[in-house]
Structure 1
Amino acid sequence: MKTIAVMSGKGGTGKTMVTAGFSVFSDENLLLADCDVDAANLSLLLETSNTECRPYMGLECASIDQTKCVGCGICQVYCRFSAINQGDDGVFSINPLKCEGCGVCSLVCREGAITIAERQSGEVCHSDTPHGPLFHAELFSGSGTSGRLVFEVKKDALEEDAKAPAFLIDGPPGIGCPVISAISGVDAVVLVTEPGISALHDLRRLVTICRQFGVRMFLVLNKADLDEERAEDVREYCTDEGIEIIGTIPFDPAIIEAARRGESVAGMNTPAAVSLKESWKRLSRTMGISE
């Protein structure tokens, strides 16, 4: 089974639209994962059902047993994250949004009033779609470890006994920890960008990251006809870097309207949908997913 991550150096380039289109236009059902855990929305473009979720336990968090606390304040002195507050009544409490679970406060507390325990930071979910099982997640507001949550989504997906020809990942934007977690272990990356100065700048950064993993790279140029000069800059960059452009998708308001309605591009006979279908055909042939 080939593993392909659809990535973008910045948000808003159409990465999720491309991922949804690939899953729809595939002749066989794929194993799907939405690893943009901070803003997962692939399920909005696919007809999901039978969603089941399990808790995701992220960073640990400190808590104070008020029956043991004597109000000495030593925990607040040693907390490097300003996570311990003293109220007007003199009572100390933990701010869970700032606590990193390092455990220093519990070590310095002479009364043994502070304990470190797991806390739920999100959910990992599994849904059925007409195009294959979809694994996705939600990271709760203020929670960290998004890279670890991406790993959990991929792990759950790969434990699925799915007879799929490919594992298709909708990756997070940018170049941070969740991006590295999403790229790790894949066979190829499909880079989605658009003609623009910032898009090309962020594409360069993402390519630098991908080079470190030695993965094969392809590119889909979305909204290519909005700025021909900048589109040519992207083409020249791909030529210099040896990146194959598998699709050039024109700007198409019909695709945007379909996304707003939560509909896929299946059955649409618009220029963008036709180009997206051809992009998937080129990718699947090159990767040996289909004949």
Structure 2
Amino acid sequence: MTKELVVISGKGGTGKTSVTASFAVLANSPVICDCDVDAADLHLILSPRVNERHEFRSGHEAVIRMADCIGCGACLAHCRFGAVRMNGKAAGEATFVIDPVSCEGCGVCVRFCPEQAIDFPERLCGEWMISETRCGPMIHARLGVAAENSGKLVSTVRREARRIAEEQGRSVVLADGPPGIGCPVIASVTGATLVLVVTEPTVSGEHDLERVLSLARHFAIPAAVCVNKWDLNPEMTERIENRARQAGARVTGRIRYDRAVTLAQMQGRAVVETEAPCVEDIQHIWDHLGL
């Protein structure tokens, strides 16, 4: 049976992706997926070679056919999102265009256009890719600028990762989740075997940890916690670990502050591919997870 570990954090910048990349090296032939589709960066460490690219389309956008537009302004009058713009004068009449960034895809302008001069195609929101890395196959994606439905794209990435794991007989799907607690995070963790929350010993780290553990409890997903850069604030680390235990999460270990992590990132390497002191900390956490 394939197990799915999702590495998440209540906030950005806690070291979540660095930990995920190291786990990808330590795991036995995992399928890797980057669910942080709004700001993916796992590829910077794992250097995937793209084998397949697929368009991601979701929702709709309105597009005026200029040849059929009579300039009546019905679309401008009915749009509540300010997406319709007057485009100067043509042959003595106003013409209109729809700003694709402002368009919410509600379809009201399509409904009220007397000439049916507005098309309503599916919106191209980004792309998802199947790639190969030195650690195994990787499914990742890129959401377009101002594009929506990131949760749906995350679900696509996870579905493809599970499919490949089943087809190739791989026992672990390893996912780098997005920060926060919003829709992309929910799409990342739903149905997972385990979530690992990477936090840091700060007030904001403690606050956001509580939020993300509450999310895991709501969806009945087992949670584990590790504290990155714990030695920068040992007192806060103790406090965070106690809070995690009280919330029913398993504390899997601590990762010391190590400048070698940044150096490894600059070299495009996972930190466990170096001889950095913190490697033993990450190895301990991976062993403790029992995957």
* Shorter-chain TM-score above 0.5: yes
8 A contact 1:175–1:205 mirrored in 2 = yes
Where does structure 1 differ by over 6 angstroms across 4 or more consecutive aligned residues? none
Matches within 5 A, 1:224-243: 224-243=230-249
User: CA RMSD of the aligned region, Å?
Assistant: 1.2
Comparing 263-272 and 109-118, the one that deviates more:
263-272
State the shift of 1:87 in Å.
2.3
Distance 1:166 1:29 in 2: 8
What is the letter of the counterpart of residue 32 of structure 2? L
Q: Does 1:251 align with 2:257?
A: yes
State percent identity of aligned pairs: 39
- Deviation of 1:71 after TM superposition, in Å, equals 1.1
* 1:58-97 CA distance string (max 9 Å, x none): 2211011112211111111111211111123222001000
1:131 aligns with 2:135: yes
Equivalent position of 1:73 in the other structure:
73
The reply to whether residue 6 of structure 1 matches residue 10 of structure 2 is no
Q: Does the CA-based 8 Å contact 2:57-2:125 persist in structure 1? A: yes
Greater mean alpha carbon deviation, residues 263-272 or residues 187-196 = 263-272
**Match in the other structure for 1:15:** 16
Amino acid in the other structure paired with 1:35: C
User: In 1, Cα distance between the equivalents of 2:283 and 2:180?
Assistant: 26
Counterpart-to-counterpart distance in 2, 1:111 and 1:122: 31
Q: Residue 168 and residue 108 in structure 1: after superposition, are their counterparts in 2 closer, same or farther (change >3 A)?
A: same
Matches within 5 A, 1:127-206: 127-160=131-164, 161-206=167-212
Does the CA-based 8 Å contact 2:264-2:274 persist in structure 1? no
Following superposition, the deviation at residue 50 of structure 1 comes to 4.0
TM-score normalised according to structure 1 size = 0.94
Whole-angstrom distance in 2 between the partners of 1:260 and 1:77: 53
Which amino acid in 1 is paired with 2:148?
G
* TM-superposition CA deviations, 1:108-132 (whole Å, max 9, x none): 1111111100121101011111211
Please name the residue that 1:60 is paired with: 60
Unaligned runs of 5+ in 2: none
Q: Take 2:225 and 2:67, find their aligned partners in 1: how far apart are those partners? A: 60
Letter in 2 for 1:280: W
SS of 1:38 mapped into structure 2: coil
CA deviations 1:154-190 (Å, max 9, x no partner) are 1121221222121111000001110010011111100
1:247-291 residue CA offsets vs partner (Å, 9 max, x unmatched): 20001000111112211223422221110011101102xxxx3xx
Range that drifts further, 113-122 or 190-199: 113-122
Paired with 1:154 and 1:273, the residues of 2 have a C-alpha distance of: 28
SS of the counterpart of 2:62? Answer: strand
Q: C-alpha separation between the residues in 2 aligned to 1:63 and 1:242?
A: 51
The equivalent position to 2:101 in structure 1, one of 97, 104, 107, is: 97
SS in 1 for 2:115: coil
- For residue 221 of structure 1, the aligned residue among 223, 227, 237 is 227
For residue 106 of structure 2, give the secondary structure of its aligned residue in structure 1.
coil
Query: What amino acid maps onto 2:13 in structure 1?
Result: G
CA distance in 1, matches of 2:210, 2:273: 34
State TM-score, norm by structure 2.
Answer: 0.94
CA distance in 2, matches of 1:12, 1:98: 30
- Contact kept? 2:50, 2:129, Cα under 8 Å: no
- Residues 198, 2 of structure 1: CA spacing in aligned structure 2 closer, same or farther, 3 A cutoff? same
- Contact 1:18/1:276 (8 A) holds in 2: yes
**Partners of 1:31 and 1:162 within 8 A in 2:** no
Aligned mates of 2:175, 2:286 — CA distance in 1: 14
Number of aligned residues: 284
Does the CA contact (< 8 Å) of 2:34 and 2:176 recur in 1? yes
- State how far apart, in whole Å, the 2-side matches of 1:53 and 1:234 are: 41
